[in-house]
Structure 1
Amino acid sequence: MSLCIPAYQAERHLQATLDSVLAQSYDDFEVVVVDNNSSDRTAQIVAGVRDERVRVVRNRETLPIAENFNRAVRQSRGRYVKLICADDTIEPDCVAEQVRVMDANPDVVLVSVRTDFIDDAGDVLRPAKGLRGIVGLQSAQQTVRRVIRSGTNPIGPPVAALFRRAEFDRCGGFRGDLLFPMELDLWVRMIQHGDFYGVPKTLASFRIGSGSMTALTSARSQLGQQFEFVRRVVRNPCWRISTADRAIGVAAIFDKQLRRDVLFLMSSVRAARRRRIDGSAGHPDASPATHTGPRNDVRPTEDPFLEGKMQWHS
Structure 2
Amino acid sequence: MQQQCRRARASVRHDRRTRLRLRCDCSPPRLDRDPCVPAADHLRATLASVTAQRLDEMEIVVLDNNSTDGTAEILGKARDGRIRVERNKTTLPLADNWNAAVESARGDLIKLLCADDLISPDCIERQASILSDDSDVALVACRVDMIDDAGRAVRRDRGLRGLTGRRPSREVIRKVVRSGGNPLGPPAAVMFRRRDFDAVGGFDGDFTFPMELELWTRLLRTGSFVGDPATLASFRVSSTSITSTLGMRTQMSEHHEFVQRLAANRHWRIPRGDLAVASINSRTMQVRRTALQLRARATAHR
TM-score w.r.t. length of structure 2: 0.89
* Other structure's SS at 2:114 match: coil
Paired position in structure 2 for 1:190: 219
Counterpart-to-counterpart distance in 1, 2:215 and 2:240: 25
Paired position in structure 2 for 1:250: 279
Which letter maps to 1:22? Answer: T
Aligned with 1:6 (options 23, 42, 50): 23
Counterpart-to-counterpart distance in 2, 1:58 and 1:213: 21
Query: How big is each residue's C-alpha offset from its partner over 1:106-127, in whole Å with a ceiling of 9 and x where there is no partner?
Result: 1001100000000000000100
Counterpart-to-counterpart distance in 2, 1:248 and 1:150: 8
Identity %: 47
* Unpaired runs of at least 5, structure 1: 274-314
Counterpart-to-counterpart distance in 2, 1:133 and 1:73: 29
Which letter maps to 1:57? Answer: E
Query: How big is each residue's C-alpha offset from its partner over 1:70-125, in whole Å with a ceiling of 9 and x where there is no partner?
Result: 00001011110100000000000101111121122210011000000000000001
Of 222-231 and 206-215, more deviation after overlay is shown by: 206-215
Paired position in structure 1 for 2:110: 81
Which letter maps to 2:239? Answer: S
Aligned with 2:77 (options 23, 35, 48): 48
Counterpart-to-counterpart distance in 2, 1:201 and 1:27: 22
Paired position in structure 1 for 2:230: 201
- 1:162 paired to 2:179: no
Equivalent residues in 2 for 1:125-204 (5 A)? Answer: 125-204=154-233
TM-score w.r.t. length of structure 1: 0.86
Query: How big is each residue's C-alpha offset from its partner over 1:206-235, in whole Å with a ceiling of 9 and x where there is no partner?
Result: 000012232232100000000000010000
Aligned-residue offset at 1:135 = 0.5
Structure 1 runs, 4 residues or longer, greater than 3 Å off: none
* Other structure's SS at 1:112 match: strand
How many residue pairs get matched?
273
Of 146-155 and 96-105, more deviation after overlay is shown by: 96-105
Counterpart-to-counterpart distance in 1, 2:274 and 2:241: 31
Counterpart-to-counterpart distance in 1, 2:228 and 2:147: 20
Which letter maps to 1:36? Answer: N
Counterpart-to-counterpart distance in 1, 2:241 and 2:110: 25
* Unpaired runs of at least 5, structure 2: 1-17, 27-38
* Other structure's SS at 1:200 match: strand
Counterpart-to-counterpart distance in 2, 1:246 and 1:132: 18
- 1:121 paired to 2:138: no
Counterpart-to-counterpart distance in 1, 2:199 and 2:168: 19
Which letter maps to 1:160? Answer: A
Aligned-residue offset at 1:269 = 1.6
Query: How big is each residue's C-alpha offset from its partner over 1:235-267, in whole Å with a ceiling of 9 and x where there is no partner?
Result: 000000001111101110000000000111111
Which letter maps to 1:247? Answer: A
Which letter maps to 1:197? Answer: V
Counterpart-to-counterpart distance in 1, 2:103 and 2:69: 25
Counterpart-to-counterpart distance in 1, 2:246 and 2:182: 18
Counterpart-to-counterpart distance in 1, 2:286 and 2:256: 12
Paired position in structure 2 for 1:97: 126
